[in-house]
Amino acid sequence: MSKELKLPAVEVHQSPGRKLYSFAVDGKLVHRFATISRVNRHEDGGLHGYQRPEVLSHIDEIRNYLESPSPMVPNAIVLAFDSRVRFEAAKGTLTTDYARPGFITIPMEENLADERKPGFIVDGQQRLAAIREASIESFPICVTAFITNDVSQQTEQFILVNSTKPLPKGLIYELLPKTTAQLPSLLNRRRLPAQILERLNLDLSSPLRGMIQTATNPTGVIKDNSILKMLENSLSDGALYKFRQPGTLEGDVEPMLELLRNYWMAVARVFKAAWGLAPRKSRLMHGAGIVSMGFIMDTISDRLHDTHIPTVMHYEADLQPLKELCRWTAGHWDFGGGQQRKWNELQNTSKDIELLANHLIAQYKNLVWNRVPPKSEKTGRAARR
């Protein structure tokens, strides 16, 4: 049985021969009149379609958000319609040179095969899949559509929409501390580290004040991602873990900041000559140095911490024996077994970070841990590396 869906819409004239239609529709209905033209190849090898396969993990993230209290999806999906879809201007209504209100009419037959549906999804595939699968009765969404029988125009718009440069990750991380809504899991995990990073970069009492390079502080000498990795490692099961709320991604930020301020102030004092330089001049300020020294922070904190956060002097005393072994700005690191690396050959890679962290931890254990009775019997991950 043939059926039509008639919706209020606005027709927008963007350029000669180019018209867009904006309207709202229940996202649960879209799959009944629009389909996904997934990329595939004919038997002769020719490319057909233009959409990528659905990303299930991304759909799950969106669905979980949609099922949370008061979700909002402000960005419109983009649909391409064939000429079976028509727009009729409303009579006697206010118009402009480029826009007029009216109604858009979309054929919507029951059990229509995908290849016969009048609409194709240009952008918003994952959102629509999540809405379709979410345990909600309905979810109105904004739609921007254009009408053409030319598949090449649909493909063109798909490329243009999806090749737009995304927001820089650094800017996203800088915005995270101001958010409270449920976010995709990666961003949820980074919200607390981003909050701590912000405080380290802004607080007057922080030894890292103004030193972390972010979207709004491009002159910082330490990459934001290096600090985030250091914090994530410690929050996972290092010195900062004990201040986390069990079973959550939240924690008591103030004692975390006290510990971090004390430790990095001690680092700045012990390695004064290497502190604050550009990474190309000091591997201490480089990703390899920051992340590796984060593991040392966890190891020292594990030895010193009983009921109180170690002071700057405590950290200084434990770092001092490492001073003569470190080659942050000149010379060669001696990793034992005949393995040497020039100071600036260490790179921000997992392999080099592991090499440096293991070396520093081994030297610390030999020079300090095994010679001074520890205050704690616990051994954190950094100490076990």
| pLDDT tens series, the chain, 385 aa | 568 999 999 999 998 888 999 999 999 999 999 988 644 445 555 545 545 555 677 888 899 999 999 999 999 999 999 999 999 999 888 889 999 999 999 998 878 888 889 998 888 989 999 999 999 999 999 999 999 888 777 767 776 766 666 677 888 888 888 777 777 777 888 889 999 999 999 999 999 999 999 988 899 999 999 999 999 999 998 999 999 988 777 889 999 999 999 999 999 999 999 999 999 999 999 999 999 999 999 999 999 876 689 999 999 999 999 999 999 999 999 998 889 999 999 999 999 999 999 999 999 999 988 776 655 444 444 443 4
Predicted confidence at residue 55, as pLDDT, reads 66
User: Could you say which of 162, 181, 207 is where a domain stops?
Assistant: 162
Cβ atoms of 343 and 271 closer than 8 Å: no
Predicted confidence at residue 355, as pLDDT, reads 96
Is residue 300 domain-shared with residue 220, that is, in the same domain?
A: yes
The tally of domains found in the chain comes to 2
Radius of gyration for the alpha carbons in the chain, expressed in angstroms and rounded: 29
Is residue 190 domain-shared with residue 153, that is, in the same domain?
A: no
Is residue 223 domain-shared with residue 339, that is, in the same domain?
A: yes
Q: How many CA atoms lie within 13 A of 33 on its CB side?
A: 24
pLDDT in tens, 248-265: 778 899 999 999 999 999
Is residue 76 domain-shared with residue 24, that is, in the same domain?
A: yes
User: Could you say which of 130, 162, 194 is where a domain stops?
Assistant: 162
Predicted confidence at residue 150, as pLDDT, reads 82
**Terminal-residue alpha carbon distance, the chain:** 68
pLDDT in tens, 78-119: 999 999 999 999 988 888 999 999 999 999 887 888 888 999
DSSP, residue by residue, 267-304: HHHHTGGGTTS-TTT-TTSSHHHHHHHHHHHHHHHHHH
Nearest to 71 by CA among 226, 183, 195, 230: 183
Is residue 173 domain-shared with residue 158, that is, in the same domain?
A: no
C-alpha span between 209 and 212 (Å, rounded): 7
| Identity of the amino acid at 73 | V
User: Could you say which of 162, 195, 217 is where a domain stops?
Assistant: 162
Is residue 110 domain-shared with residue 243, that is, in the same domain?
A: no
C-alpha span between 62 and 65 (Å, rounded): 5
Predicted confidence at residue 36, as pLDDT, reads 81
DSSP, residue by residue, 203-215: -TT-TTTTTEEBT
Domain span including residue 332? 169-384
Q: What is the token pair recorded at 328? A: 């942050």
Is residue 116 domain-shared with residue 253, that is, in the same domain?
A: no
Is residue 192 domain-shared with residue 136, that is, in the same domain?
A: no
Predicted confidence at residue 384, as pLDDT, reads 39
DSSP one-letter code for 217: B
Is residue 93 domain-shared with residue 211, that is, in the same domain?
A: no
Predicted confidence at residue 373, as pLDDT, reads 62
Is residue 202 domain-shared with residue 320, that is, in the same domain?
A: yes
Is residue 232 domain-shared with residue 341, that is, in the same domain?
A: yes
**Who contacts 116 (Cβ-Cβ below 8 Å, separation ≥6)?**
none
Q: How many CA atoms lie within 13 A of 316 on its CB side?
A: 11
Is residue 206 domain-shared with residue 286, that is, in the same domain?
A: yes
Predicted confidence at residue 159, as pLDDT, reads 67
| Identity of the amino acid at 63 | R
